[in-house]
A and B are shown apart, each in its own frame.
Chain A
Amino acid sequence: MAENEEILIKKAGRGDLEAFSSLVQAHQGAIRAYLIVRLGDKHEADDLAQDVFVTAHERLDTLNEGQPFGAWLRRIALNHYRNHRRKFRAMPVGGNADLQILVDQTVEQQAGTLEEPETLGALRDCLARMDGPARSLLHERYVLGHTVREISKAMDRGYSALTMQLHRLRQTLADCIRTKVPSLSVK
Chain B
Amino acid sequence: MSPDARADELKYALLSGELNTEGADELLALFRQRPDLLVEVSSSIAMDRILGLASEPEEETDAFSREILERIALRAQRKDRFGKSVSRRLEPRAARWKRLALPAAAALVLFAGLGWFLRTDRALARVHSLADVAWTRDSTLVAGAALERDSRVEIGSGLLELALPGRGHVVLEGPASLSLHGKKDFSLTTGRAVFVVTPGGHGLAVRTPHGTAVDLGTCFALEVGEDSTELHVLEGRVTFEPPTGGITDMRAGQALRSEADEVVAIATDGGRFVRSVPTARRDTDGSWSWPCDEGFGMQTRTSDPAHAMRFKGADPGSAAPTWTTRSDSPAIEFDGAGAYAQSDFAGLAGSEPRTVALWVRVPEDWSPQDGGSLIAWGRPEWQQPGHFFELTLNRDPALGPIGAPQLDVSQHRVTAGIDLRDGEWHHLTVVTCQADESSSRTDVLIYLDGNLVSSYPRHVPRIDTQLGGNRHAVLLGRSLRSVNVTEPPSQDFFRGAVDDVFIGSGILSSSGIKGLMMGIRPAVR
- CB proximity of B261 to chain A, nearest CB, Å: 56
With A102-B31, A106-B38 as given contacts, are A96 and B519 in contact (CB-CB < 8 Å)?
Answer: no
Q: How far is the CA of A129 from the CA of B370 in the complex (A)?
A: 64
B 45-98 contacts with A by CB, 8 A: 45-57, 61, 64-65, 67-69, 71-73, 75
Given contacts A95-B24, A102-B31, contact A159 B46 (CB under 8 A): no
Contact A148 B16 (CB under 8 A): yes
State whether B50 touches A120 (Cβ < 8 A). yes
Given A42-B52, A96-B21, decide whether A106 and B75 contact each other with a Cβ distance below 8 A.
Answer: no
Residue pair B51, A138 in contact (C-beta under 8 Å): yes
Nearest-neighbour CB distance to chain B for A185, whole angstroms, equals: 11
Task: Say whether, besides A17-B69, A94-B21, A95-B24, A37 and B49 are in contact (CB < 8 Å).
Answer: yes
Taking CB atoms, residues of chain A closer than 8 Å to B61 are 28-29
Chain B nearest CB, measured from A56 CB (Å): 10
From 1 to 59 in chain B, residues with beta carbon under 8 angstroms from any chain A beta carbon are 8, 11-12, 14-16, 19-21, 23-25, 27-28, 31, 38-57
Query: Is the CB of A36 closer than 8 A to any CB of chain B?
Result: yes
Say yes or no for B520: interface residue by CB 8 A criterion.
Answer: yes
User: Could you say which residues of chain B place their CB within 8 Å of the CB of A187?
Assistant: 39, 43
Whether A181 is near chain B, meaning CB under 8 Å from some CB there, is no
Give Cα A102–Cα B294 distance, bound, in whole angstroms. 55
| Chain B residues near A186 (CB-CB < 8 A) | 43
- B-contact 0/1 string along A118-145, CB 8 Å cutoff: 0010011001000000000011011101
What residues of chain B lie closer than 8 Å to A102, measured between beta carbons?
28, 31, 38
Give the docked Cα–Cα distance between A159 and B20 (Å): 17
Contact, CB under 8 Å: B28 / A170: no
- Closest residue of chain A to B61 (Cβ to Cβ) is A28
Are the C-beta atoms of A21 and B65 separated by less than 8 Å?
yes
Q: Is the CB of A94 within 8 A of B20?
A: yes
B161 shortest CB reach to chain A, Å: 31
Closest to B293 in A: A16
B298 within 8 A of A: no
Residues of chain A having any CB pair with chain B under 8 Å: 14-18, 20-21, 24-25, 28-29, 32-33, 36-37, 40, 42, 46, 49-50, 53-54, 57, 92-96, 98-99, 102-103, 106-107, 109-111, 114, 120, 123-124, 127, 138-139, 141-143, 145, 148, 159-160, 163-164, 166-167, 170-171, 173-174, 186-187
6 example contacts (A-B, Cβ-Cβ < 8 A) are as follows: A14-B328, A20-B72, A42-B49, A54-B68, A106-B38, A171-B43
B residues whose Cβ falls under 8 Å from a Cβ of A: 8, 11-12, 14-16, 19-21, 23-25, 27-28, 31, 38-57, 61, 64-65, 67-69, 71-73, 75, 291, 327-329, 518-521
